[in-house]
Amino acid sequence: MKILIIEDEKQLAESIAEYLAGESYLCELAGTFKEAMDKIYGYEYDCILLDLMLPGGNGLTLLEELKKLNKQDGVIIISAKDALDDKIKGLKLGADDYLAKPFHLSELGARLYSFLRRSKFDSSNKVTINELEIDLWARSATVNQQVLPLTKKEYDLLLFFVGNKDRIISKSALAEHLSGDMADMLDNHGFVYAHVKNLKRKLAEAGCRDFIKTAYAMGYKWEP
Amino acid sequence: MRKLLNQTLIYYSIYALVMLLLVTPFFYWLSLKLHLDDVNEAIHLREKEFWAEPKWKLLSPENIAKWNEFNRDIKILPDTVSVAKNNIVQQVFYDELDDEWEPYQVLYRDVDTQAGKTVLMIRINLIESEDLMQTTALTSFLILLLLLIGFVVVTRITSSTLWSPFYQILQQIEEFNIEQKNKPDFPETKTAEFQNLRQGLEKLISENIKAFEREKEFTQNASHELQTPLAIFQSKLDMLLQDADLTEHQSVILQQLYDASARLLRINKNLLLLAKIKQQHFLRKEPVNVRGLIQEVLPYFAEQAEEKALSFGVDLADDLLIEANKALTEVVINNLLMNAIRHNVQKGSIHVSLSGNILSVANTGLEAALNRKTIFQRFSTSSTHAHSSGLGLAIVKKITRLNGWRVDYHFKNHLHVFSISF
């Protein structure tokens, strides 16, 4: 799948590209407004990661341009301007998601994954990983046709893992993801451990293999 | 505290009273003296008239008796007078008509008549002068009273006209709030002092606003500028974590870097919030159910409290509806609850209660009261807690002040209690 990363900070853009490259994502970079414009006009992308503050122009203008061209590319805004107004404006203009900088790459991975599944797959919206099947629409998971009794947080966690296949996900990233609006208020990671433990137990009880591996002492890895 | 004009009035009144006490006796004394002079002059005049007619030398004792019968105030008496002669003296005489003793100015003088050695007595009644003097004293008292009333009236008038620019300026300064940028519009005035005051204040205020804006802008810019390197830093940590060859030691360091970066982010985010609280979208108000908000976030904090095995007591009696910005109200509640967990001890307790319009969060922690004066200041945390941003309470204070709520802290029964009256 083709992803366009419009981001003027080269270091950040490269990290994103490198992180996403492992999955079947093909990333292209655009560092300026003009570069981005050229790429948008010339090619089709499954998803565009769009920074709002660019040399030569505003990201929101690019978004407007994209909609005028009637392109179907998905757009996830990644912006340091953590202003509610920008977020509302962006989403109104047709952006599919908004991620405030700084973010964990695994968070971006998970968002991108769910966005692409939602938009590309048929109406059933199902993801199958060996014996595990996730219904994105119904927000439920089944193992061998048996529905897992997951809490909302456990389901979120599962999706987060699936979206970051074969990557090591730090507990910090999981803690922020699970805390939502409350992110980074407290950094005890104990509750992350508790949720992961419960998820693993429920998967195991349903007869699913243990895909969640502990990596070092500080993260997890989803290895189907 | 007394008002300026009333204070002036007090001085005026004291002055008037002193004048009244001093001047009235003086007036009385002066009019008395003038009157006596008049009377004495009249006596001398009569004496002169009497002397100018030398027929009195021929007066026989019978004539003298007749004379005395018809003259009340000029009499010829046998020489039995004991007081000094040729000098006017004051004496009291019995008045048969009024049946009372009355004061007189009297002059005695030797006159030799046919009746032998006799004395001429000329006298003038002073009873009328007493009335006169009373009137004089009363008049002076009245004048001073009128003066005093005049002072009050004039003061009132001055206060409503002359001093009105001053009071208007005063009121506008009291209403001035630097965070609301409502620069006061001082009234035009023709009084030089008020004009100076006005100009001085305008200069002071505009410089204050400028400094305030500069500080805010700086904080905002600095935070924004920091966000990009922070984003890069964090993404590089995420990449480093993917490295398959990390040793255990390196992974420990990596975790510490994650923690430090999380703390940096938190400080940065809170600084930005502090600078942005006055921005438009935070000024929008809506009805907010405080009880509902607390109930929404409690599960999250209850979960966070498990790590320290805290006992969580909740006592939310009634709904509390307020008119406020929802996001900021949430921030206040979150920051208080977060503090109660962060600064707590293992197996401690937290008690959240909402009764009437007062929300209070009590928690165990350090066994000593915190400094009430400094806890709400930026970066004043008494314990150098590794995860604290040092801004949580400063944000609470700022939001409560913005909304006119009151935040209070006290240490009681081993509990740190923060309360907010909405």
pLDDT tens by residue, B291-344: 999 998 888 888 888 888 889 889 888 888 899 988 889 989 999 998 898 888
| Both tokens assigned to B213 | 């804006």
B397 half-sphere exposure, CB direction, 13 A CA radius: 14
Q: What are phi and psi of A100, to 5 degrees?
A: -85, 135
Is B178 a residue whose pLDDT tops 90?
Answer: no
Q: Which residue of A has its CA nearest to B246?
A: A216
Q: Which helix (H) or strand (E) holds B156?
A: helix B127-160
Q: How far lies B15's CA from each of B23, B91, B401, in Å?
A: 12, 39, 47
Asked if B330 and B293 touch (Cβ cutoff 8 Å), the reply is: yes
- Residues paired with residue B7 on neighbouring β-strands, in sequence order: none
What's the average model confidence in pLDDT over B85-90?
Answer: 86
Say what the pLDDT of residue B14 is: 87
Beta carbon pairs, A and B, within 8 Å: 110
pLDDT surpassing 60 at residue B383: no
Triad B215, B218, B224: Cα angle to 5°: 145
Cα distance from A19 to chain B (closest Cα, Å)? 7
B314: Cβ contacts below 8 Å, ≥ 6 apart: B294, B298, B351, B352, B353
- For all residues of chain A together, what is the average pLDDT? 86
How big is chain A, counted in residues?
224
How far apart CA B31 and CA B136 sit, in angstroms, is 7
- Whether A155 has its CB under 8 Å from any CB of chain B: the answer is no
Which of A85, A16, A84, A30 is CA-nearest to residue A62?
A30
The pLDDT score that the predictor gives to residue B130 is 72
Q: Among candidates B179, B235, B185, B240, which has minimal Cα distance to B211?
A: B179
Instruction: Indicate the SS3 state at residue B231.
Output: helix
By C-alpha distance, the chain B residue nearest A193 is B307
Cα–Cα distance measured from residue A27 to residue B310, given in angstroms and rounded to the nearest whole number: 47
Chain B's closest residue to A18, CA to CA, is: B239
**Chosen from B219, B225, B242 to mutate, greatest number of chain A CBs within 10 A:** B242
Judging contacts by C-beta atoms under 8 Å, the chain A residues touching residue B342 are: 186
pLDDT band per the 50, 70, 90 thresholds, residue B120: confident
Contacts of B251 in chain A (CB under 8 A): 216-218
pLDDT at B215: 84
Q: How far apart are CA B294 and CA B337, in angstroms?
A: 9
Range name among A30-34, A66-70, A132-136, B366-370 with the lowest pLDDT average: B366-370
**Which residues on chain B are in Cβ contact (under 8 Å) with A12?**
228, 231-232, 235
Residues of A in contact with B265 (CB under 8 A): 102, 184
Pairing status of strand A2-6 against strand A47-50:
parallel
Token pair in block for residue B421? 């009256």
**A152/B contact by beta carbon, under 8 A:** no
pLDDT value, residue B360: 92
Under DSSP, is residue B122 helix (H, G, I), strand (E, B) or coil? strand
To 5 degrees, how large is the angle CA A152–CA A153–CA A155?
65
Q: pLDDT tens across B198-225, in order?
A: 899 999 988 988 888 888 888 878 888 8
Does the pLDDT at position B390 exceed 80? no
User: How close A33 comes to chain B (CA, Å)?
Assistant: 18
What ipTM score was computed for the predicted complex, to two decimals?
0.88
H/E element holding A30?
A: strand A26-30
Q: Lowest mean pLDDT: which of A147-156, B2-11, B186-195?
A: B2-11
Residue with tokens 């590309």: A120
pLDDT confidence bin for B228, thresholds 50/70/90? confident
pLDDT score at B309: 87
Compute the nearest-CA separation of B10 from chain A (Å): 59
Helix H or strand E encompassing B166: helix B164-175
* Structure confidence by residue, pLDDT tens digits, B267-297: 888 888 888 886 666 778 889 999 999 998 8
SS3 B5: helix
pLDDT for res A184? 57
Instruction: Write out the H or E segment, with its range, that includes residue A3.
Output: strand A2-6
Q: Do the chains contact at B224 and A80, CB–CB below 8 Å?
A: yes
A177 touches chain B (CB under 8 A): no
User: Packing angle between helix B192-241 and helix A10-21, nearest 10 degrees?
Assistant: 30
| Of residues B235, B255, B265, nearest to A12 (C-beta) | B235
Alpha helices in B242-348 (DSSP H): 248-276, 280-283, 290-306, 326-342
The distance of Cα B37 from the centroid of its chain, to the nearest Å, equals 56
CA–CA gap between residue B46 and residue B107 (Å, rounded) = 10
| pLDDT of A47 | 93
Name the 3-class secondary structure at A161. Answer: helix
CA dihedral (B140, B144, B145, B147) positive or negative:
positive
Pick the closest to residue A17 from A49, A63, A40 (CA basis). Answer: A49
